[in-house]
Amino acid sequence: MCGIFGYVGTERDASDAVIEGLRRLDYRGYDSWGVAVLNRHGIEVEKHVGIVTKEPLKIRGNIGIGHTRWATHGAVTENNAHPHYAADKSFVLAHNGIVENATELKAVLEKKGHKFHTQTDTETIVRLVEEKQKRHKKLADAVRAAFKDLTGRNTIIVLAKDGEVIAARNGSPLVFGSKNDELYFSSDVLSFAPHVSSVMVMENGQMVSKNGQRLQVMDIAKGTKVTPKFEKNAIVGGEVNKGDYDHYMLKEIREAPFVVRQLLKEPDTNYRALAAAIKKAKNVYTIGSGTAGAAAAQIAFYLRVYGEIKATALIGAEASDYYSLIGKGDLLIAPSQSGETADVLEVLELAKKRGAMIASHVNMPGSMMTRMSDFKFMAQAGPEICVMSTKIFTSQIAWGYLVAKTVGGKLQDGKRNLSALATAMNRYLKDEIVLKTLKEIAGRMAKKEDLYILGKGQNQQIIKEGMVKIIEGSYIHAHGIPAGDLKHYAITLMEEGTPVIAVVSNDTLKNDVLNAIHEVKARGAKVVGIAPENAEQFIDWLKVPDTKETSAIMNVIPLQLLAYYMALARGNNIDKPRNIAKSVTVK
């Protein structure tokens, strides 16, 4: 969510470097942005509401910082956009996160005479640094002292009039890239990948300052020096482009066969090591938020069915009632696109402190989640740019399936099934008739205000994720209902013409779902079936290949495509739906 970027070097104009960086961070979601550069006039700032410009800025310089804001405190206005000036313009500051004690700090600072000009929590950091400057002559010392007084997950970047750039991390991600004497600061490595030869991930509780040739990393709490550890930039290309597609979402849905095959490249020993830990664990939890929450629940399902493990699925922001139950001997499994999801990280950090082990499946290199994991898996799915996750969800649940099969002693069988799934997906995604039918049905559904999705067993989380995609993309109210639970409540909503999507696999629960469809059809609902076989209850049939054990993973594709074409029919901003951000690094 939102982003920070910084550039120090003589090779490029800083405002060009920062603008390019902000544009490459733009998939994370934001509502306004700003850039500050240092030149012979001092520090100049330009801020705007809306999308980062494609045009070069008028302000130029060799050192610059930038910010994309996803407003949490204060309206989306130019004035509230970052970076924010110190009262004497001796520095500017940009911030990711939430200062949880902003109200208290502001009251104290106002009493001391500091004037506030924005509605942001960020401005309390600026004024606090100014207050600390009364005692600390060096700006870096004042920033460090101020940072120690903040509560919440915060990351800041500061540009000073003398050319010093300071960044401190405690939550939102912060990474560096360097080549010769150029240094990039950013929220993710993708944003500067093509320009650097080495990268460094900053840990929570660390601060960095760069002034001329001097680069210093410090432990914020202790005030001690830390040796910077740069690693070789492993991101090949870091390509971020849509190719021939109109939208990243469609491109990424169509990469499903590729992402499934990537999982088969992981050495067997890694799957076996995790499976052994799962079998030994006292309790196994899976955890995620949003789409990754649905993936976590599907992974738990696979662990129960194919691994015979009592796995419990948790939602990141709703796990606090488990805090006292998690402890030594437990294992938490976290699928995450960014590896930086704040509410999940909070649970994992706590679990780790209490002695539990962590396994993660992450797509973004260098993330916090990977770094704290005992079992690290990378999706290696390539950048996912659309704010709505599609290929990573597919990767997460296919990975969970394989892990569960390994627990059940059937790794090779699992791999064969995933390989067959990738082939079936590929054929399906290239079938023009399939795409045409999906588009037609989506066009009709896009005219409705409410729709319902039914499924059962292995498709339980899949319909939930289908619901999430439709809500995110088309802003139409969708409701995923467990087929068996329908008659306990949602049946009241069924009337003539109610649109229903039913996901029916060829498994032992098939007849239960078909019976539920009878019940809604009898009340006038119009049911579109996603199934390997047609049924008399369907008014439209979206045929999917029967991939047996991996059938649920296959069913994700038509649901994602429906959501895509519905969003398209509604004329929405598909790759960046309103109000949501990709990487939710604030709680």
Report the Cα 36 to chain-centroid distance in Å: 27
**174 counts as binding ligand GLU under rule CB under 6 A:** no
Least Cβ distance, residue 119 to ligand GLU (angstroms): 8
Q: Write the binding mask 72 to 101 for ligand GLU: x where contact by CB under 6 A, - elsewhere.
A: xxx--------------------xxxx---
Sequence-ordered list of residues with C-beta below 8 angstroms from that of 116, at least 6 positions apart, any chain: 106, 109, 110, 123, 124, 127
Q: Write the binding mask 14 to 53 for ligand GLU: x where contact by CB under 6 A, - elsewhere.
A: ----------------------------------------
Span of 51-59, 66-74, 191-199, 536-544 interacting with ligand GLU by CB under 6 A: 66-74
Counting every residue written for the chain, the total comes to 587
Closest of 86, 90, 66, 87 to residue 7, by C-alpha: 66
Span of 68-76, 107-115, 407-415, 453-461 interacting with ligand GLU by CB under 6 A: 68-76
Least Cβ distance, residue 74 to ligand GLU (angstroms): 6
State how far the Cα of 316 lies from the Cα of 290, in Å rounded to an integer.
9
Give the CA diameter of the chain.
Answer: 79
Least Cβ distance, residue 160 to ligand GLU (angstroms): 20
The residue (of 100 and 546) whose beta carbon lies closer to ligand GLU is 100
**171 counts as binding ligand GLU under rule CB under 6 A:** no
Residue from 8, 93, 109, 122 that binds ligand GLU (CB under 6 A)? 122
Q: How many helices (H) and strands (E) does the chain have?
A: 16, 25
Tell me the H-state helices in 373-493.
391-407, 411-429, 432-445, 460-474
Q: What is the DSSP string of 520-531?
A: HHHTT-EEEEEE
List active site positions. 2, 582
Q: Write the binding mask 295 to 334 for ligand GLU: x where contact by CB under 6 A, - elsewhere.
A: ----------------------------------------
Span of 71-79, 256-264, 472-480, 567-575 interacting with ligand GLU by CB under 6 A: 71-79
Least Cβ distance, residue 188 to ligand GLU (angstroms): 14
| Cα angle 169, 170, 176; round to 5 | 25
Closest of 176, 198, 199 to residue 187, by C-alpha: 176
**336 counts as binding ligand GLU under rule CB under 6 A:** no
Q: Which residue has the tokens 């909503």?
A: 493
**121 counts as binding ligand GLU under rule CB under 6 A:** yes
Torsions phi, psi for 562 (to 5 deg): -60, -45
DSSP 89: S
Q: Write the single-letter amino acid at 586.
A: V
The residue (of 96 and 367) whose beta carbon lies closer to ligand GLU is 96
Least Cβ distance, residue 345 to ligand GLU (angstroms): 15
State how far the Cα of 283 lies from the Cα of 329, in Å rounded to an integer.
7
End-to-end CA separation in angstroms for the chain = 11
Least Cβ distance, residue 97 to ligand GLU (angstroms): 5
The residue (of 5 and 452) whose beta carbon lies closer to ligand GLU is 5
Least Cβ distance, residue 70 to ligand GLU (angstroms): 5
Residue 284: strand pairing partners: 311, 331
**170 counts as binding ligand GLU under rule CB under 6 A:** no
The residue (of 461 and 585) whose beta carbon lies closer to ligand GLU is 585
Neighbour-count burial of 119, counting CB atoms closer than 10 A to its CB (0-12 exposed, 13-18 middle, 19+ buried): middle
Q: Which helix (H) or strand (E) holds 564?
A: helix 551-569
Least Cβ distance, residue 407 to ligand GLU (angstroms): 39
Cβ-contact 486, 533 below 8 angstroms: no
**120 counts as binding ligand GLU under rule CB under 6 A:** yes
DSSP 548: G
The residue (of 391 and 582) whose beta carbon lies closer to ligand GLU is 582
**429 counts as binding ligand GLU under rule CB under 6 A:** no
The residue (of 9 and 21) whose beta carbon lies closer to ligand GLU is 21
Least Cβ distance, residue 15 to ligand GLU (angstroms): 20
Neighbour-count burial of 569, counting CB atoms closer than 10 A to its CB (0-12 exposed, 13-18 middle, 19+ buried): middle
3-class DSSP state of 35: strand
**71 counts as binding ligand GLU under rule CB under 6 A:** yes
* Beta strand spans in 310-356 (E): 311-315, 331-336
Span of 114-122, 138-146, 330-338, 408-416 interacting with ligand GLU by CB under 6 A: 114-122
Residue 206: strand pairing partners: 169, 219
State how far the Cα of 116 lies from the Cα of 110, in Å rounded to an integer.
8
**69 counts as binding ligand GLU under rule CB under 6 A:** yes
The residue (of 97 and 532) whose beta carbon lies closer to ligand GLU is 97
Q: Write the binding mask 503 to 542 for ligand GLU: x where contact by CB under 6 A, - elsewhere.
A: ----------------------------------------
Query: How many amino acids of this chain bind ligand GLU (CB under 6 A)?
Result: 14
ω into 558 cis (within 30 of 0)? no
Residue facing ligand GLU at closest CB distance: 2
The residue (of 69 and 456) whose beta carbon lies closer to ligand GLU is 69
DSSP 191: G
Residue from 70, 248, 393, 565 that binds ligand GLU (CB under 6 A)? 70
The residue (of 79 and 198) whose beta carbon lies closer to ligand GLU is 79
Residue 167: strand pairing partners: 157, 208
Span of 120-128, 313-321, 401-409, 526-534 interacting with ligand GLU by CB under 6 A: 120-128
The residue (of 121 and 255) whose beta carbon lies closer to ligand GLU is 121
DSSP 550: G
Cβ-contact 345, 1 below 8 angstroms: no
The residue (of 69 and 132) whose beta carbon lies closer to ligand GLU is 69
Q: Which residues bind ligand GLU (CB under 6 A)?
A: 2, 69-74, 95-98, 120-122
